[in-house]
Amino acid sequence: MSPPPLARAVEVSRKYGDVLALDRVSLDIPPGEIVGLLGPNGAGKSTLLNLLAGLRRATSGRVELFGGDPREPVRRKLLGVTPQETGLPATLRVAEVVRFVAAHFADPVPTSELLERFGLTEVARRQTGGLSGGQKRRLAVALAFVGRPRLVLLDEPTTGLDVSARRALWEAIRAFPGEESSVLLTSHYLEEIEALASRVVVIGEGRLLADGTVSSVRDLVALRRVSVRAETDLPGLTGVVARQREDGRLNLMTPDSDSLVRQLVKSGADFTDLEIHAASLEEAFLTLTAREG
Amino acid sequence: MSLVLTHARYQFTETIRVPVAVIGTMFFPAASMIFFVVPFTGQNAIAATFATASMVVFATSTTSIFTYGIGVSEDRAQPWDPFVRTLPAGPLPRLAGRIITGTGFLILSFLPVLVVAAVATKATATPAQLALAAGAVIAGAVPFTLLGLTIGYWLPFKAALAVAQLVFFPLAFGGGLMSAPGRAPGWVETISPYLPTRGAAELMWSAVGDHRPNSIAVLMLGVWTVVLATTAAWGYRRDEGRRFH
C-alpha cells in the first residue's frame, strides 16, 4: 500500500470571473518526490500553487493538504512556501525575517543553521532592502524551509539568478527531500526541472496535459524540430504536428524527422539551410498545449 | 497570544526603521502645541488645559487615520501579505498585531503634547482627571482607528494616502479642535457636533475641566463608532473575499 499523498487535487477547477484558470485538474504529491510543474505563463501554475497553499478556494473539486483543507491554518504546519523576493519587508534584517517566520512553527530550523545552509550568514544583520537580487532570492527560498516542512512549494525559485547562484540554490533544494518530504516547483528553466525533478507535470490553458517522469514526458512528445529557410510555407507535408515561422525560417515539429526530410527532398521544394534538432522540453510542451487546444 | 505579540513586535520594528514616519507622528501635534497653544493660551491654566486636551484628540485622530489607512492599504499591495497568509496562522494575529502597534504609535503621538503642556504652559490635571482622560482617549480613538481601517481596506495605496490627507484636517478644524470649547466660528459650531472629532473632544474636555459635554456630539460619536465599525468590517471581509477566495 502506498503512503497517503502529502497533497492532492481532485478534479479541481478554479474560475476568476469568466476566466477558467484551472480545468478539472487532478494531481497527487506523494512523499519523497521533487515534482516539476511546467507550463507557459498563464497556464494555471500559480493558481494551482495558491490553492495548495490555502490562499484561494477551488471553484469546484477538492484540494487536500495533509489530509485536510489547506485553508485551515493547522493543515499548513508542515508546508513551506516562498514569498516573492520583491515582497520582503525592506526595513527588517535578514535574521529578523527568518525569526518572524520561525515564530509560526513548532520546531523551526535554528536561524543560524538555515542562514548557513543558504549562504546568508554574512548578511544576517543586513536589512532585506539592501540585499542583491540573488541574496533576496536565496532568502525567499530559505523561508520555505524554516518550519522543517514536509511539502515545499517553490514558485520559480531561481528566476533571475546567474548560473552559479542557480546551481548553489539547486544544491540546497536537492539536499532537502528525504523519504518523507516533497517539493513542488515551477520553473521557466527546463534545465532546472531536469536537474531537480524526478517527475514532471505539464499544464496548459488550465488543463493537465502530461504527468510522468522527465523522460516519459519527453517520449510523449518525442519531437524533432526540422528547420529550413524557405519562401513558401511548404504545404502538403505529412507528419507535421506544428509549424511556425521565425526570422525567415520555417520550423516544423514532427515525431519522424527522417520521413519529413525524405518528403522535403522528393517534393522538390525550394529550401536552404536545413537543420534538425531534438525538441527541447519547452518546445515539446508548447506543442502539446497547441495540440490540445 | 505570543503570535499576536510577534506580529506586533515586527510591525513596530518595521515602522520605526523609517524614523521620518515616527518623527512625523510625534512632530506635528507637538509643533501645533508650540506654535498655537503655548503663545496664545499657555499662560491661562483653564484655556491651556482645554487646548492641550484638543491637541491630544488631534494627535490621536490624525495618527489613527494615517497609521491604519496608509499602513493597511500599503500592506495589501505587498506580496509579503499573501506569504504571511500561508504560514500556519489565520489572519487574526496580523490584524491584532496591527492594532497593538497602531495603539503604540497613538501613545507616541500625544506624549510630546503632554510634555510641552507640562513644561511650557500652565495646563494642569489631577491624577483622577488624567485617568478619566485616558478613558476618553480610548473612547475617542476607537472610531478613528475604524476610520483608518475603513480607508485602508477599501482603497488602493495612492487613493488611501490622498483620502487620509483630505479628511484629517477638515475633521480637526470642523470638529472645533482649533478653538476653545464653544468658541469656534459659528458655522463650525453648527456642524461640529456631527463630526466624530467633536465627540472625542467633548469627552476629553469633560475629563480634564469644568465642561458639560454636548450630548448630540457624544451621541454622534457613538453613531460614528457603529457606522465605522460596520464599514471597516465590511471592507475587511471584502478584501478577504477579493484576495483569498
pLDDT in tens, A136-185: 988 999 999 999 999 999 988 887 778 888 888 888 888 776 778 899 99
Residues above pLDDT 70, as percent of chain B: 100
Interchain CB distance below 8 Å, A91 and B18: yes
Concatenate the DSSP letters of all residues of B55-70 into one string.
HHHHHHHHHHHHHHHH
Nearest residue to A105 (alpha-carbon basis) of A50, A146, A52, A150: A146
DSSP-derived pairing of the beta strands A182-186 and A151-155: parallel
Name which residue leads in pLDDT, A279 or B239: B239
Distance from CA of B22 to the nearest CA of A (A): 14
- For residue A133, CA distances in Å to A36, A159, A161, A261, B176 come to 23, 10, 8, 46, 51
Name the packing angle between helices B127-154 and B196-208 (round to 10°).
Answer: 170
Query: Which three three-digit cell numbers place residue B215?
Result: 450630548
Interchain CB distance below 8 Å, B89 and A92: no
Looking at beta carbons, which residues of chain A come within 8 Å of B80?
A: 83, 87-89
Q: What is the pLDDT of residues B96-133, one digit of tens each?
A: 999 999 999 999 999 999 999 999 899 888 999 999 99
Phi-psi group of A236: left, alpha or beta (phi > 0 → left; psi -120 to 50 → alpha; rest → beta):
left
Nearest residue to A83 (alpha-carbon basis) of A58, A101, A104: A101
Query: Which three three-digit cell numbers place residue A178?
Result: 528525504
Interface test with B, best of A69, A78, A92 (most B CBs within 10 A): A92
Nearest to B90 among A73, A82, A87 (CB): A73
pLDDT > 90? residue B17: no
pLDDT > 70? residue A281: no
Q: What is the pLDDT of residues A76-114, one digit of tens each?
A: 999 999 887 678 999 999 999 999 999 999 999 999 999
CB B62 within 8 A of CB B108: no
CB A264 within 8 A of CB A252: no
Q: What is the pLDDT of residues B203-214, one digit of tens each?
A: 999 999 888 889
Confidence grade of residue A1 (pLDDT, cut at 50, 70, 90):
low
Residues above pLDDT 70, as percent of chain A: 92
Query: Which range, of A15-24, A220-229, B70-79, B94-103, averages the lowest pLDDT?
Result: A220-229
- For residue B33, CA distances in Å to A12, A158, B111, B120, B124 come to 61, 54, 12, 9, 15
Confidence grade of residue B135 (pLDDT, cut at 50, 70, 90):
very high
* B215 residue type, one letter: S
Interchain CB distance below 8 Å, B13 and A81: no
Interface test with A, best of B2, B76, B87 (most A CBs within 10 A): B87
Looking at beta carbons, which residues of chain B come within 8 Å of A104?
A: 3, 87-89
Nearest to A76 among B81, B87, B245 (CB): B87
Quick one: pLDDT at residue B140? Answer: 93
Residue A16's Cβ-side half-sphere holds a number of Cα atoms within 13 Å equal to: 13
**Separation CA A30–CA A52 (nearest Å):** 14
CB B75 within 8 A of CB B68: no
Looking at beta carbons, which residues of chain B come within 8 Å of A55?
A: 82, 85-86, 243-244
**Separation CA B174–CA A140 (nearest Å):** 48
pLDDT > 50? residue A215: yes
**Separation CA A47–CA A58 (nearest Å):** 9
Structure ipTM over 0.90, yes or no: no
Quick one: pLDDT at residue A292? Answer: 47
Quick one: pLDDT at residue A68? Answer: 92
For B83, which residue in chain A has the nearest alpha carbon?
A83
CB B84 within 8 A of CB B149: no
Confidence grade of residue A293 (pLDDT, cut at 50, 70, 90):
very low
Task: Reduce the DSSP state of residue B214 to 3 states and report it.
Answer: coil
Name the packing angle between helices B19-32 and B92-120 (round to 10°).
Answer: 40
Backbone CA torsion sign across B84, B90, B91, B93: negative
Backbone CA torsion sign across A156, A158, A163, A168: negative
Q: What is the pLDDT of residues B154-211, one digit of tens each?
A: 999 999 999 999 998 899 989 888 888 877 888 888 899 999 999 999 999 999 988 8
Query: The pTM is what?
Result: 0.83
